[in-house]
Amino acid sequence: MAVKGLGQLDKEYDGSKLRVGIIHARWNRVIIDALVDGAIKRMLSLGVKEENIIVETVPGSYELPYGSKRFIDAQKKKGEPLDVVIPIGVLIKGSTMHFEYISDSTTHALMNLQDKVHIPVIFGLLTCLTEEQALARAGIDEAHSMHNHGEDWGAAAVEMATKFGPNAF
């Protein structure tokens, strides 16, 4: 019995009225770029307009929570508020405990961010033990063993913004 597997969308969503922010770290750039592309393609396929996808960057994953917050603030100040944000980062276990403390604090902070910014925050953080794991989850390992997880994040962003975003009800 194949119980596991990708959570499918519960219906086709129309993203044509949504504004989506992507904010990504710049470490492990090849992997990040593939994930960002995957998220964008999936959102375009769900009707999000290219001009309504705004991309910003931060140096590393630890900067994602505060960077996301201020990115959201800045878009609001411009009169172009976001309906949802996808922070994207790739953390790979090294020899110190840096990976564990960054992963843990960033995950909690992104979760808690939602109550401060009042829009959904999609969890686009890969927390991998090896580089190979990260490549696979971006759909770019040599064996093409997995799909590009950015696609899931793009779909989740459209669904969450439509169901639970600031203009959903």
Complex with a copy of itself: residue 53 or 119, whichever CB lies closer: 119
Q: How far apart are CA 132 and CA 130, in angstroms?
A: 5
Q: DSSP letter for 10, please.
A: S
Tell which positions 130-149 bind a copy of itself, by CB under 8 A.
131, 133-135, 137
24 is catalytic: no
C-alpha dihedral sign at 86, 84, 23, 150 = positive
Complex with a copy of itself: residue 40 or 113, whichever CB lies closer: 113
Which of 17, 27, 41, 44 lies at the binding interface for a copy of itself (CB under 8 A)?
A: 27
Please return the burial class of 106, using the count of CB atoms within 10 Å of its CB with bins 0-12, 13-18 and 19+.
buried
At residue 5, the 3 state secondary structure works out as coil
Complex with a copy of itself: residue 49 or 93, whichever CB lies closer: 93
Which of 21, 67, 87, 150 lies at the binding interface for a copy of itself (CB under 8 A)?
A: 67
Tell which positions 32-51 bind a copy of itself, by CB under 8 A.
none
- Residues with a catalytic annotation lie at 98
